[in-house]
Amino acid sequence: MIFLQLAPMIDPKEMQTIRHSEDALRTALVSKRQDLMDRYNKYSPGEQRLLEDCLRPDSTLFHPITLHSPSDWIISHPESTQDFEAFYKNPYRKTPNKGRNTVYIQTVGSFGSSEDSTRLYVEWLQEYCEAFYYGLAVRLLEPVSVSETACAFRINENTCNLQVHAGITMIDLYPEDSWNFVFGQASLTEGMGIFSFARYDDNFYSREYKGRIQKSKKLTPGDYSIFNSYYTPPVTSALLYRSCRTLTHEIGHIFGLKHCQWMQCVMQGSNHLEESDRRPLDLCPICLRKLQSATGFKIAERYKALLRWIESDLTTDTHMEAAKTAQKPTAAFEESRKWLMECLCVIGD
């Protein structure tokens, strides 16, 4: 689950860094159980070299978590750490098999100013998710309107934007009346999650945000006509980057990965947008091993798939006129592209 609130900054001198000892990190990664150590030893020398890079204090690939604000997730939401052994023996985690190896994406409402732009954006998310969860199929279900979900909806008292209690959507979410909002939630036991990318628009908190609704506006339960012309922000590189990060984070929960507290990782919890933007786009070695054990991919092949997604600017959809000119906005992914290349060099592939 990911929450957002305005976060007071603290003096950089007071910034906290969470550093685990080499022994603690090694145990979290490898385990002291003999069967799990034997499994670890099946990784190739190059894969082990990459995974164990996090044990080096001077690692340039994997970094300790820094806490910049009293409202950062780890401070405000204490949780127990999850090492590989704890993940592995969790009886509720989802492990793909021949009969259950597909991730389905159901969009709710519009994602762009036109049907073509909506389709492009969602297909970019689908392709990214397929690279991130390499080896699994990711399928798009036919989009549905807000009215078809019969979900509850309201106007947020703080931001004056529409919210739904519902897939993947560009409309803000709230799980209960008492909550302000959520970026997303996922259920480990039910194997499903919901995500919203509404607040990833840079102008969302501006008074000039086009999605704001007048506080005096009266809503009628069951009347979804207010969503017919609902504002959706343009798909920028930053919005696409943040959307990919949230989508893969929440799906990670479905596979049994809890919030990471070992090092900087896409599975870190975040309590506000500034903290969310500090998270990297990919997994730390401990969470990478968790996911790899669940899906069985080759680490280098997964990194190559992610690299191809970033470097492939043009959409592959040939059925739309917009596909002839639409470019995937990947400028925000440049640091991730360089990072993936460094990881492949360490593996030796």
Q: Name the residues annotated as catalytic.
A: 250
Residue 173 contacts residue 250 (beta carbons within 8 Å): no
Strand (E) positions, 28-183?
Answer: 65-67, 102-105, 107-108, 137-140, 152-155, 162-165, 168-169, 172-173
Nearest to 285 by CA among 243, 244, 346: 346
Residue 113 φ then ψ, to 5°: -75, -10
Q: In this structure, what token pair is assigned to residue 165?
A: 């209690």
**Strand residue runs (E) in 24-171:** 65-67, 102-105, 107-108, 137-140, 152-155, 162-165, 168-169
Q: How many CB atoms lie within 10 A of CB 172?
A: 24
| CA atoms lying within 13 Å on the CB side of residue 2 | 34
Residue 18 β-bridge partners: 65
204: which 2 tokens?
């969302």
C-beta separation of 7 from 71 below 8 A: yes
Spatial CB neighbours of 197, under 8 Å, sequence gap ≥ 6: 168, 169, 170, 239, 242, 243, 246
Nearest to 241 by CA among 143, 100, 345, 336: 336
Reference 261, options 19, 3, 52, 11; nearest CA is 19
Nearest to 6 by CA among 250, 163, 204: 204
For tokens 């990072």, name the residue. 339
Per DSSP, 142 falls in state P
